[in-house]
Amino acid sequence: MSYIRKIYNYYLSEDKQLVRKLKPILGFTPNHVHLFKMAFYHRSMNQDDSGTSYNNERLEFLGDSVLNAIVAEYLFKKYPNKDEGFLTKMRSKIVKRNTLNDIADNMGLDMILSEYSIGKMSSSMMGNALEALVGAIYIEFGYDKTSEYVIKKILMNYLDIHMLELKDDNFKSILLEWCQKNNKEVNFKVINKSKFDKRDYFNVGVFINGEEIALGEDFSKKSAEQKAANFALQFLKVD
């Protein structure tokens, strides 16, 4: 058997294996197997500087946007009487890194991802792969089918939307509770107050044991505190 033939067979069987593993996860057999394979390629796989790199970051860029739009429309229709503030909060609860990581984990994407990455897998690689997968599905099927897929197979299967609705999004109180539990002293300080568009504008810092760990800014002190607390929670990896 020729060398080229051997390589051909090797990749063919690799693709076949991927399809075999993907089918139960996706519920369909992908046509553009190379795209779906790319969705699982972490950039750690190709660190060379030559030309276009083969990894999932472009697909992730596309999938992230498409997912955002699908979730926005889903919420817009599901909550016809809620205002923009509620919709924005709900969307960020759904598309935030930790939620996507959990979904990807429950979908079993880690099994595939581990084959295409070097070294230790971080949890954020999971959410990124999920976004890249949405990007691949989008290229294969277009918007409407991807939307149907995301809503039925991902959101409805792996998310409890009503739980999310109830989930505390008072970041300041979550942070205060976490600090109390972990014996840390926490302070919120207005670092700067200025005028923007003739309105007061606040810069608030979060200090834990005297060290500034996050900042937030907005037109109200309360809202700047919430933003700072949210950043602090991300920084501390508190979910």
Contact footprint for a copy of itself (CB under 8 A): 51-53, 57-58, 60-62, 64-66, 68-69, 71-73, 76, 81, 83-84, 87-88, 91, 122, 138, 142-144, 147, 191-192, 194, 196-197, 201, 203, 211-215, 217, 231, 235
Catalytic residue among 60, 64, 218, 225: 64
144 has catalytic annotation: no
131 has catalytic annotation: yes
Residue whose CB is less far from a copy of itself, 170 or 194: 194
Strand 211-218 and strand 186-196: pairing? unpaired
Residue whose CB is less far from a copy of itself, 105 or 217: 217
Read off the tokens for 82: 């809620």
Residue whose CB is less far from a copy of itself, 19 or 236: 236
Q: How far is the CB of 40 from a copy of itself (least distance, A)?
A: 16
Q: What are the backbone dihedrals phi and psi of residue 40, each rounded to the nearest 5 degrees, phi first? A: -105, 0
Neighbour tally for 20: CB within 10 Å: 10
228 touches 205 (CB < 8 A)? yes
In terms of Cα–Cα distance, which of 78, 82, 40, 34 is closest to 57? 40
Q: How far is the CB of 133 from a copy of itself (least distance, A)?
A: 15
Q: Is 195 helix (H, G, I), strand (E, B) or coil?
A: strand
Q: How far is the CB of 208 from a copy of itself (least distance, A)?
A: 10
Q: How far is the CB of 153 from a copy of itself (least distance, A)?
A: 18
Rounded Cα distance between 106 and 222, Å, is: 36
Q: Is 68 helix (H, G, I), strand (E, B) or coil?
A: helix
Residue whose CB is less far from a copy of itself, 103 or 132: 132
Catalytic residue among 60, 131, 218, 225: 131
Rounded Cα distance between 160 and 205, Å, is: 33
What positions carry a catalytic annotation? 64, 131
